[in-house]
């Protein structure tokens, strides 16, 4: 960490700052310039995390030099993307994996039809929420365990591993008993007790970016899971809240290459929640894969008009077939298979 001193700092104030830092086991190096004095702190800067530096007289600003996340940082792993196996598929390998399915598990029939269809079009995983976070407490919030049972039966039939959302730490173990991958949604990205809980389960985690979270916040959320021993984390850019109401969210395309440089974890994109409209799903998918995404998660419904959630952004079954066909060329251009 580098501490920049205020103009006119006194020798006593400078000594005091050095004492505070050195008391925590770090060394200091003072460099007195013409305009400014700078105190370099050498050693484990995380020890300074709890010190309210800006409250110490003479301190003007502080600048961390280390990243606050360690396990999620690119340096932690060899110079490649970490492989995260889910069932018999693997995120972070040569193949770009597409998870597809409805927003909510509504009944067995629609799940079976969707599962068979998306499997036929080359989806790698089946998605579907059994526990749904809804903005209104009066909206349909999922079939719960019955939905999990349906997902497990459709997995049996189609061979597709299942990804489904966990909202509450109290349900995590139950859901892990059925699902191949646990999704943490945008509203829960900083639910720290939930992150700790899934960190203790040996199930891969799909961690979606909080709608108001920075990318550093996202990596620190991943660090919560990883620091509990679960290194199997896949990150997902799903759009953030900005101004303008035309789209449901603003798809942060640059987040994909930025994350790919900053972390060794696989990164996927959710074009359905990003755009919030069926006709935007294909172009956003193409852009994400061209930008280096390791996969996509896409909402698909056999009859979007009757969907119990997110019908307007759900592709039809044929629409999904068209997406997979057209996506191939973008995947190949990015050096991936689909």
Which residues of the chain form contacts with ligand PEP (CB under 6 A)?
103, 129, 133, 185-186, 208, 238, 270, 273
206 binds Mn ion (CB under 5 A): no
Q: Tell me how far, at minimum, the Cβ of 333 lies from ligand PEP, in Å.
A: 27
Nearest to 158 by CA among 201, 99, 202: 99
- Interface with Mn ion in residues 299-318 (CB under 5 A): 310
Angle CA 177–146–178, to nearest 5: 15
| Among 225, 227, 229, residue whose Cα is nearest residue 208 | 225
Binds 185, which of ligand PEP, Mn ion, none (CB < 5 to 8 A, cut-off by type)?
A: ligand PEP
**Are 180 and 203 contacting, i.e. CB atoms less than 8 angstroms apart?**
yes
* 106 makes contact with Mn ion (CB under 5 A): no
Between 106 and 310, CB nearer to Mn ion: 310
> Which of Mn ion, ligand PEP, none does 208 bind, CB closer than 5 to 8 A by kind?
ligand PEP
Min separation Cβ 337 and ligand PEP, Å? 25
Number of amino acids touching Mn ion (CB under 5 A): 2
| In the complex, residue closest to Mn ion by CB | 103
Q: Check: CB of residue 204 under 8 Å from CB of residue 232.
A: yes
Contacted by 278, from Mn ion, ligand PEP, none: CB < 5 to 8 Å by type: none
Q: Report, in Å, the least distance between residue 103 CB and ligand PEP.
A: 4
DSSP 95: B
319: which 2 tokens? Answer: 């629409």
In whole angstroms, the minimum distance from the beta carbon of 299 to ligand PEP comes to: 7
Q: Where are the beta strands (DSSP E) in the chain?
A: 2-5, 27-32, 37-42, 59-63, 84-86, 89-91, 97-101, 125-127, 162-165, 181-184, 205-208, 233-237, 267-269, 295-299
Question: Which of Mn ion, ligand PEP, none has residue 237 at its interface (CB below 5 to 8 Å by kind)?
Answer: none
Q: How far from chain centre, in Å, is Cα 298?
A: 15
CA distance 153 to 221: 32
Nearer to Mn ion by Cβ, of 93 and 133: the residue is 133
- CB-nearer residue toward Mn ion: 1 or 296: 296
103 lies in the binding site for Mn ion (CB under 5 A): yes
- Should residue 270 be labelled a site residue for Mn ion when binding is judged by CB under 5 A? no
**Which residues make up the interface to Mn ion (CB under 5 A)?**
103, 310
């Amino acid at each position: 960490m580098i501490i920049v001193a205020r103009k006119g700092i006194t020798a006593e104030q400078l000594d005091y700052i050095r004492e505070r830092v050195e008391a925590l086991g770090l060394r200091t190096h003072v460099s007195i310039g013409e305009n400014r004095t700078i105190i370099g702190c050498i050693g484990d800067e995380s020890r300074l995390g709890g010190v309210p530096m800006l409250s110490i007289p003479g301190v003007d600003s502080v600048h961390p030099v280390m990243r606050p996340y360690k396990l999620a940082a690119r340096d932690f792993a060899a110079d490649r993307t970490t492989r995260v196996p889910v069932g018999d598929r693997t995120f972070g390998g040569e193949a770009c994996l597409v998870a597809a399915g409805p927003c909510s598990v509504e009944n067995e029939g629609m799940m079976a039809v969707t599962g068979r269809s998306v499997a036929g079009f080359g989806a790698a995983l089946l998605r579907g929420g059994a526990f749904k976070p809804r903005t209104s407490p009066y909206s349909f919030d999922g079939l719960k365990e019955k939905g999990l049972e349906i997902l497990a039966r459709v997995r049996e039939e189609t061979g597709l591993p299942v990804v489904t959302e966990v909202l509450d730490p109290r349900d995590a173990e139950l859901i892990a008993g059925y699902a191949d991958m646990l999704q943490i949604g945008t509203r829960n990205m900083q639910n720290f007790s939930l992150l700790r809980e899934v960190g203790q389960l040996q199930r891969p985690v799909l961690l979606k970016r909080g709608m108001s979270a920075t990318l550093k916040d996202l990596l620190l959320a991943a660090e919560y899971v990883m620091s509990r021993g679960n290194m199997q984390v896949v990150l997902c850019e799903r759009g953030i809240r900005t101004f303008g109401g035309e789209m449901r969210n603003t798809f942060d395309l640059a987040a994909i290459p930025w994350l790919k440089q900053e972390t060794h974890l696989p990164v996927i994109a959710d074009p359905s929640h990003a755009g919030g409209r069926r006709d935007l799903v294909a172009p956003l998918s193409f852009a994400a894969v061209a930008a280096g995404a390791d996969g996509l998660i896409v909402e698909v419904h056999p009859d979007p008009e009757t969907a119990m959630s997110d019908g307007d952004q759900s592709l039809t079954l044929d629409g999904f077939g068209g997406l997979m066909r057209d996506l191939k060329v973008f995947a190949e251009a990015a050096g991936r298979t689909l």
